Amino acid sequence: MLDFASDNAAGVSAPILDALRGANLGTAPAYGEDAWTERAHRRLEDVFETRLSMFLVATGTAANALALGALCPSFGAAFCHVNAHVAEDECGAPEMFTAGAKLVGVAGGAGKIAPQALAATLKAFPRGPVKQAQPAALSLSQATEAGTAYDPDEIARLAGMAHAAGLGVHMDGARFANALVELGVSPADMSWRAGVDILSFGATKNGALACEAVLVFDPARATTLPFQRKRSGHTLSKGRFLGAQMLAYLEDGHWLDNAHAANARAARLHDGLAAARLNLPWPRQANEVFALLPARVDAGLRAAGARYYDWSDRDYGEGRRADEVFARFVTSFATTEPEVDALLSLVRDAAAQPEGS
């Protein structure tokens, strides 16, 4: 099967599996008081070139919801892109973890919040009126739901606007590594140096079994998180298995190697689809490729067993024909060049068929 539905469909990378086996030997202190977790914490501080607080959890939903819970009171408003993952794909978890805060969508093309739209939204949410949710947080997705990436200057501009309005800044970094290697910048430059206060640092989509980290760059914003994580049921008793994953993920640049591999396969796929003259609405800046497929191409791929997602076109705008399917293809660290080439061969064969056949 040619599976391009999600990088979550991939297995666990060998170094991380080996680390889990190693952590399984003998005993260790519970609840994250183990040596693996401590070493992972120190390694993350090296990677990000700063002191930080680290809270490991098993899912990205938990990471995002806890991060927003640390920034946003129950009567607050958290601003995010109108199609952000936190708004559309987490079943109200951010609202639950904040005890009812309001998520407010902000417009912008290609998955990115437009500065003008953020300015207008902030103006519409003045601080003080008791009948309105109080502005509290800005959440940015990196990479975005459109597979695009904010560069450090774009992050800094939006974060500066948020800070000027008294908001904290969260980054959903489920595909942080993929955006990072594509932009060729440092983790620090793409996070705290650009104004990010709390980062959901993803590993699961990039080779881990189930491991994400909430990284807090401002210590004052971390004071409630130990209690919020415990109360929400996300403090693992056998926390060493999270620490071991994160440590192996970071060792010897393994996380960057995995992201480079995934992005390289996505670039190969993107270039092949472009050569087949398919409409690709957004630039590829991570490991996701979006395409408008003629109906016969979509039918041919499905018949051959290829897996990918039909995608919402709410952020695409004008230009889609009625007989086109908006599709998302995702590569992972485990995707091979032959798999990409096999999918492209199917695309070419299907495109060569007469319309209506």
**Sheet of 324-330: strands edge to edge?**
288-294, 324-330, 309-310
Nearest Cα residue to 294 out of 317, 311, 270, 278: 278
pLDDT given for residue 354 in this prediction: 74
Q: How far apart are CA 158 and CA 243, in angstroms?
A: 32
First to last CA, the chain: 24
Answer yes or no: are the C-beta atoms of 258 and 13 closer than 8 Å: yes
DSSP of 157-170, one letter per residue?
Answer: HHHHHHHHTT-EEE
pLDDT at 131: 92
- DSSP string for 274-343: HHTT-B--S---SSEEEEEEEHHHHHHHHHTT-B-EE---TTT-S---TTEEEEEEE--TT--HHHHHHH
Q: Give 179-199 pLDDT, tens digit per residue.
A: 999 999 999 999 999 999 999
Q: Is the separation of the CB atoms in 163 and 195 below 8 Å? A: yes
Query: Could you tell me the domains of the chain?
Result: 14-252 (3.40.640.10), 255-351 (3.90.1150.10)
Q: Could you list the mean pLDDT of each consecutive 10-residue stretch along the chain, which spans 357 residues?
A: 95 98 96 97 98 97 97 97 93 93 95 97 95 96 96 98 97 98 98 98 98 95 95 96 98 98 98 95 96 94 95 66 89 98 95 73
pLDDT at 351: 85
Nearest CA to 35 out of 27, 167, 351 is that of 27
Residue with tokens 């170094």: 15
**What is the pLDDT at residue 357?**
56
pLDDT for the residue 324: 87
pTM score, two decimals?
0.95
Span 32-83, pLDDT tens digits: 999 999 999 999 999 999 999 999 999 999 999 999 999 999 999 999 999 9
